[in-house]
Structure 1
Amino acid sequence: MATEKNIAPETGWRGLIQNWQSDLIASISVALVALPLCLGIAMAAGMPPTSGVLTAIIGGIVTTFYRGSHVGINGPGAGIIAVILSAFAVLDDGSGHTLNYVLAAIVVAGAIQTLLGLIKLGRFADALHSNVIRGILAAIGVIIFAKQIHIALGTQPTSNEIIQTLKEAILFIPDINPFVAIISLVGLVVLIFHGRIRVKLIALLPAPMWVLVLSIPFVYLFDFSQLHVIDFLGSGHVVGPHLLIDIPNEFLSVIAHPDFSRMGELPFWTSVLSITMIASIESLVSSKAVDRLDPYRRRTNLDKDLVGIGLSTMISGAIGGLPVTTVIVRSSVNINNHGKTKWTNFYHGIFLLMFMFFLSPVIQQVPLCALAILLVYTGFKLASPKIFKEVYNQGAEQLIFFGGTLLMTLYTNLLVGLFGGLLLVLTVQFLLARTTVMDFFGMILKPGTHLLFHKDGSYELKVKGIANFISMIRMDGLLMQIPEKSKVTIDLSETRLVDYSILEHLDEYRKSMLDKGGQVDIHGLEKHFSSSTNRLALRILPVTQQIETPRQISLREMALEHGWEFDGKEVDERRIFRSFYFFKSKLIKKVHNRIIQSGEDIHWQICDIEFQTGALIAAEEYKTTVGLMHIPGPLPRFTIEKKGFLDRYLIEHKDIDYRIYKNFSPEFSVKVEDKKTMDEFLTEPMRQLLIDSHIEHLESNGDDILIFSDNLRPALISEFARMFKFLEDMKSILRK
């Protein structure tokens, strides 16, 4: 195996000195995304718009100095909109001090978060069922959508009930203000298509910033500076300054202070508990998602991170800000723009501070509907049909958990939705386990799960009873006792029920151990029934066989015709693919449909692969077909791609620390680790093969060669023959 060059950057001050340039450049993109989102989140939460930016500034400048994340970005998250709105509703006593009461609740919530981190409860999010959390996030998405769609369309809801507000969005269509709606429509088009437009000028600014920039000309076109009526199709529509963002000329005038006079009342503490729970869950879930995207596979210290965001939340609430969380969209932008250390977070806070001091007059010309459409889009992505489909594919019972939590949250509140969702999970699992109540909880609380150490240095975790979200913390505690680079066997044969959330967690553990050089084997589910064909689905009885798709049938016939192997099942080849630069910061979700030519020293395979960039609401998924060739003996490390492919998909590869190789066709961009070995590899027949081929991207990690054909899409059945020929021709050239 070739030496791995993906060495994690230094931390602390050494990391600052070594990586300041890449972090500084990444922070500009992060700040440009953060500015409109922070303004919109604060506005949607009922706070002054600038309080959102103030929160991000504190999250950047303060949190950076004490936190557990390496590349996460801190600031206000969309998840806290619903709890802050709820706090305003229950704490409004007509005194005019509601904002100050809410700030007090934020400060106390931050103190509790700090305490939770200090007593090492940072992993308590693992004890919450993953689809209950998704249900909560989806409900938050619906709440955001319902509240903001009216602002985006220029209508005024008459009800505070979420479901009724959604209905009114349809009923009030005849009352839409077209001069507001056209701005929102332009913003929505930008948000949908920005990532698909391959024009460098457009790629210069992130989509949220383009929404703001493109909205300002409409403000002047329709003259929002003065209150007046514009006729359209026989109806008059009011436009004026009330449709613009209202921020002060002096940024520091936004500072407000908490009022703790209602600490003895129940509504205050329900608000504190809601803010603590939702802000902590959003942060911990986002941190774990960021860890999966980090190309250096670093892990967040969740306890330290909870302390850091807790302290920052206390400071933020004390001067008029929102709760500080780890935010996935801005963190994804940071990773995609090659931010390497925590100092990107610090720089983005500095840039936001500069924006607010120097760009306030410009921000005052941004219409409210531009911010609203950003949040409408965010809300939709949190509760999109795609989420429902993904959950259903995990098993019908998972859709019940998800949907039940979603509905309970919408019809009651976030706390009832959270605890009601967990109770629903236990009820369904009890019915599936077909046992008594006493035995059911006995198998959860005292299952007999234990860890064994064998003489050969390996470990075995024997899981028993009911393996669900409640048993997660104990199981995690046992797994944490196992040293890195160990060989681990996880035996699930004595379980009565294994929930999706447990198998999902164990799969993440297996991937983490593989990254560290360990080995994990999970077995014992051969006699369990699966609730769906998903490999991580809930297990209680024997697994049913999966029927092959038409694509798999065609590929199997093609493989048999040539005397090759075909394997349609999903396999874990992630470790091999992650050794290539292309997949460093991407989450590989599925590798399947493999045609394998083996039995020789040089062998290859072609497979379908699904991967994801970003995470949560920033996620973008791709499906493609790739070739993978293994050659015995050392290979030069290199990347070769047609320049069009580079512009569309591989902008991130400008960060590869290889040297440019000019001794090749100008139609290709070539980077190499060592020019001499590359000269030896690129014989004249090999050069001609690459130039004449349809191949868009070729990459070597030192042991294997990764091959992309055409676009990032699954190859048509008719296109496989072309890939076969290229691989066989390359194999023949290499043999000579």
Structure 2
Amino acid sequence: MKNNFKTFMSEIPQNLFSGFVVSLIALPLGLGLALASGAPPISGIIAAIIGGSVVALLGGSNVTITGPGNGLVVVILAAITTLGAGDMHQGFLYTLAAIVVSGIIMIILGFLRLGSLGDFFPSSAIQGMLAAIGIGIFAKQVHVMLGNLNAKGSIVELVLKTPQGLYNYVTTNSQSTLYAGAVGIISLLIMIFYGKIRNKYFQLIPAPMWIVMLSVGMFYYFDMFSSNAYPIDPKLLINIPDDVVSNFNFPDFGKIYQTEFISAVISITLIASIESLLSIKAVDKLDPLKRRSNVNKDIRALGLATLISGFLGGLNVVTVIARSSVNVNNKGSNRSANFFHASFLVIFILLFASELRKIPLSALAAILVYTGYKLASPENIAKVFKIGKEQLLIFLITLLTTITTSLITGILVGIFATFVIHIVINKNLSLFTRNLLKPNVLMFKEDGKYYVSVKNFSSFINYTRLKAKLDQIPENEDAIIDFTLCDFVDHSVMENLNNYAESFKRKGGYFEVIGLDSHNSTSEHPFALRKNIPTKNESSVKTNLTKRQKSLQQISNELGWKYQSLPAKEVSKIPEFGYFKTRQINKVSNILSNENCTLFDIEFHEGELFAKQIIKATMLHINLGENAPEFTLDKEGIFEYIYHFTGFKDVTIENHPDFSKRFYLTGKNENEIKSFFTDDLILFFKSNKYYHIEANNQGLLIIGKERLAGIKEIKSMADFGLRLMNIICTNKLVTTSN
């Protein structure tokens, strides 16, 4: 405890500096986001101050920054417009009440531990929703950036009016509009080219703060050095009350039972929760110490901050990724940076309010235009398309529905569209309806590794079951996730599995996904969805290797072996072993081989009709080059004792009682078996991992668990086979020379 406190105190200087840098960005963004939402500018700053203070004290994350978020701009603006019925101020008061209720709901969600609900939304649908939010921000703010505060209409109408807005600006006779638009355009250019300027001193000040400084500097130029009056009309400047403390707005609960109020509450809560959950997950990946946030605790703190902010006239409080990433980049290491960022905002508002009133609205609008573009950039669309054409379809359906209707409708349609597309891809509705409520995840510990088996299907609908198991595994341990029995894995699950793999790697653990080698993917992207395909069609459909297959290819290169994802000719030796007398081989794949050893995955089934069970396993075949005695070697156990009573005899090796006690060895010719099992061979089996081993005149068949092996297990099996082959060959040479 003392060490933790000492560490906290020693890191205060770096968190103080980081909080200051973040506040330089949060100040213009808070003002701009409030204006874009149709709310008083100070409401955005209130949200940042309350959020930074409350979440810093009560939150469950480490390096996140909280305040007003981009995603809520469209929602808050719609709520104010709808609830006010033309009266924006009264609409804002009603919206404050909706924000308060939203905060209460988020607190309840946190106590109910429903932070995992964020995993229920399909990734591509969320991307479509965020892009729609970006278009909504761009559509409104591009006109404000050009000095026009009167542009009205829906998102689509405002986007279509953009060329006309540019033409009107170029041909305007208004000096105020001309100067305001010039400030907006220059501010946008600063946002665009800021990252391309590599001067370390220039980079000390964030781009939004450069815009603020230049905007205020322009005012003082006209005030102190120019004979002309300041050209921008006061109505195009930020309006902050003279006495901030005495000018709080308070919520009006007069419409609390009306449908549009309830709709506003649902929209605000939904978007605030999604934006926060996504941001928390993303920022955890940026944390240099790789700590995992307590999401439910954070949601409760965000809810309380939102409740207080709403009562004092502020906007919703969410976790924001852009400001959080700035915090990480400036070595913010704990929640105190969030608190310091809020403290500096208080200082700015109390001491520099008069300077803030000199900032043109067009400058803040330019910051938001750039933000909106980044959310809906063509690069994001291209990334979605690379994952799969069906993901682009989900993305576009969600985007178009959202910008033409509402965010709630958009995300609901996106979820429904994703589900329908999954049914179409699988051509099987019953796969989902029959297995939706069934447990589909089994986890156990085996040989020091955590083994998770997933069956039927794994998608955004039931991902929380898999996540609950994965969260129980320490990230410094080994975990194998097996989808052998799973017919369908969607894009959202694949993306989340990649996040787990990265997290385990950072913490020194090992995370491997297996069982997808026979699944078809819609693209070569590692996040592409996977669908199990019939064996007979595999060679004509499978076009790209999975991560596991690429690892097998790498192993074969390291060993100097050959690798084939599918056999060049029909397998003939394996069915001759006794193990497969009652088992029917369906398919052999992923073959690693040299002159004498062949390591492979095999799919076979036991039983028929209703009792039919399909099993996939990894085995090793060693070609001995000449006849070997027929025998079976296995670990001594209860079934071996049963074999004694059914006529099977355990061959006892003289002078090796411990071996005979630990292993069950049986075969037709006892003398040949005893001659084959030399002292060196017995010592080898006693000192290495147990495998089920069968021998016939075709060689040795080495069988591990009745499941696919992970990469580490395959390396271990290959090493076992090479050393076993070496001992057998050495024994042959000795026998021949004698």
Fold match (TM-score > 0.5): yes
Alignment counterpart, residue 433 of structure 2, candidates 441, 457, 474: 441
SS of 2:27 mapped into structure 1: helix
Q: Confirm or deny that 1:125 pairs with 2:118.
A: yes
What residue number does 1:111 align with? 104
Alignment of 1:558-707 (within 5 A): none
What residue number does 2:274 align with? 281
Q: Matches of 2:340 and 2:300 in 1, distance apart? A: 21
1:299-327 Cα deviation digits (max 9, x unpaired): 11100000000000000000000011111
What residue number does 1:718 align with? none
Q: Matches of 2:407 and 2:457 in 1, distance apart? A: 27
Q: Is the 8 A contact 2:441 2:465 kept in 1?
A: no
AA of the residue aligned to 2:309? S
AA of the residue aligned to 1:76? P
What residue number does 1:361 align with? 354
Q: Is the 8 A contact 1:219 1:367 kept in 2?
A: no
1:619-651 Cα deviation digits (max 9, x unpaired): xxxxxxxxxxxxxxxxxxxxxxxxxxxxxxxxx
Larger Rg: 2
What residue number does 2:205 align with? 205
Alignment of 1:336-415 (within 5 A): 336-415=329-408
Cα distance change on mapping 1:354 and 1:229 into 2, 3 Å: closer
Cα distance change on mapping 1:362 and 1:501 into 2, 3 Å: same
Alignment counterpart, residue 494 of structure 2, candidates 493, 498, 503: 503
AA of the residue aligned to 2:55? T
Q: Is the 8 A contact 2:241 2:247 kept in 1?
A: yes
Shift of 1:222: 6.8
1:70-125 Cα deviation digits (max 9, x unpaired): 00011111111111011112211456522211100000000000000001001210
Shift of 1:546: 5.4
Q: Is the 8 A contact 1:444 1:468 kept in 2?
A: no
- Structure 2: gaps (5+ residues): 170-176, 546-556, 564-738
Question: How many residues end up aligned between the 2 structures?
Answer: 537
Q: Is the 8 A contact 1:258 1:317 kept in 2?
A: yes
Q: Matches of 2:163 and 2:443 in 1, distance apart? A: 60
Q: Matches of 1:326 and 1:74 in 2, distance apart? A: 4
Alignment of 1:36-185 (within 5 A): 36-93=28-85, 97-156=90-149, 158-176=151-169, 177-185=177-185
Alignment of 1:408-423 (within 5 A): 408-423=401-416
Cα distance change on mapping 1:452 and 1:279 into 2, 3 Å: closer
1:679-711 Cα deviation digits (max 9, x unpaired): xxxxxxxxxxxxxxxxxxxxxxxxxxxxxxxxx
Q: Matches of 2:523 and 2:148 in 1, distance apart? A: 44
What residue number does 2:469 align with? 478
Q: Is the 8 A contact 1:513 1:519 kept in 2?
A: yes
Shift of 1:427: 0.5
Q: Matches of 1:474 and 1:156 in 2, distance apart? A: 49
Q: Is the 8 A contact 1:179 1:222 kept in 2?
A: no
Q: Is the 8 A contact 2:458 2:489 kept in 1?
A: yes
SS of 1:97 mapped into structure 2: helix
What residue number does 1:587 align with? none
1:447-473 Cα deviation digits (max 9, x unpaired): x52324244232221111221101111
Q: Matches of 1:136 and 1:222 in 2, distance apart? A: 43
1:604-631 Cα deviation digits (max 9, x unpaired): xxxxxxxxxxxxxxxxxxxxxxxxxxxx
What residue number does 1:605 align with? none
AA of the residue aligned to 2:165? F
Shift of 1:249: 2.1
Q: Is the 8 A contact 1:131 1:401 kept in 2?
A: yes
Q: Is the 8 A contact 1:254 1:320 kept in 2?
A: no
Q: Matches of 2:137 and 2:16 in 1, distance apart? A: 32
Shift of 1:261: 1.7
What residue number does 1:29 align with? 21
Q: Matches of 2:444 and 2:297 in 1, distance apart? A: 30
Alignment of 1:492-571 (within 5 A): 492-540=483-531, 541=533, 542=538, 544-545=542-543
Q: Matches of 1:193 and 1:115 in 2, distance apart? A: 44
Q: Is the 8 A contact 1:136 1:405 kept in 2?
A: yes
What residue number does 1:488 align with? 479
Q: Is the 8 A contact 1:486 1:518 kept in 2?
A: yes
1:262-300 Cα deviation digits (max 9, x unpaired): 111111111001000101111110011100111110111
SS of 1:164 mapped into structure 2: helix
Cα distance change on mapping 1:317 and 1:15 into 2, 3 Å: farther
Q: Matches of 1:175 and 1:317 in 2, distance apart? A: 38
What residue number does 1:270 align with? 263
Q: Matches of 2:445 and 2:137 in 1, distance apart? A: 53
1:49-71 Cα deviation digits (max 9, x unpaired): 11111111111122211001100
- TM-score, normalised relative to structure 2: 0.69
Q: Matches of 1:366 and 1:133 in 2, distance apart? A: 34
Q: Matches of 2:100 and 2:7 in 1, distance apart? A: 32
What residue number does 1:675 align with? none
Q: Matches of 2:44 and 2:445 in 1, distance apart? A: 54
Q: Matches of 1:372 and 1:9 in 2, distance apart? A: 47
Q: Matches of 1:376 and 1:94 in 2, distance apart? A: 25
What residue number does 1:333 align with? 326
- TM-score, normalised relative to structure 1: 0.69
Seq. identity, %: 40
Q: Is the 8 A contact 1:66 1:305 kept in 2?
A: yes
Give the stretch that moved more between structures: 510-519 or 65-74: 510-519
- Structure 1: gaps (5+ residues): 1-7, 231-237, 548-559, 568-736
Alignment counterpart, residue 459 of structure 2, candidates 445, 468, 477: 468
Q: Is the 8 A contact 1:155 1:175 kept in 2?
A: no
1:337-371 Cα deviation digits (max 9, x unpaired): 00111100111111110010111111111000000
SS of 1:359 mapped into structure 2: helix
Q: Is the 8 A contact 2:142 2:366 kept in 1?
A: yes
Cα distance change on mapping 1:332 and 1:184 into 2, 3 Å: same
Q: Is the 8 A contact 1:463 1:492 kept in 2?
A: yes
Shift of 1:18: 2.5
1:164-192 Cα deviation digits (max 9, x unpaired): 11111112322114322211121112112
Q: Is the 8 A contact 2:143 2:151 kept in 1?
A: no
SS of 2:488 mapped into structure 1: strand
Q: Confirm or deny that 1:314 pairs with 2:307.
A: yes
1:557-585 Cα deviation digits (max 9, x unpaired): xxx9xxx99x9xxxxxxxxxxxxxxxxxx
Cα distance change on mapping 1:132 and 1:331 into 2, 3 Å: same
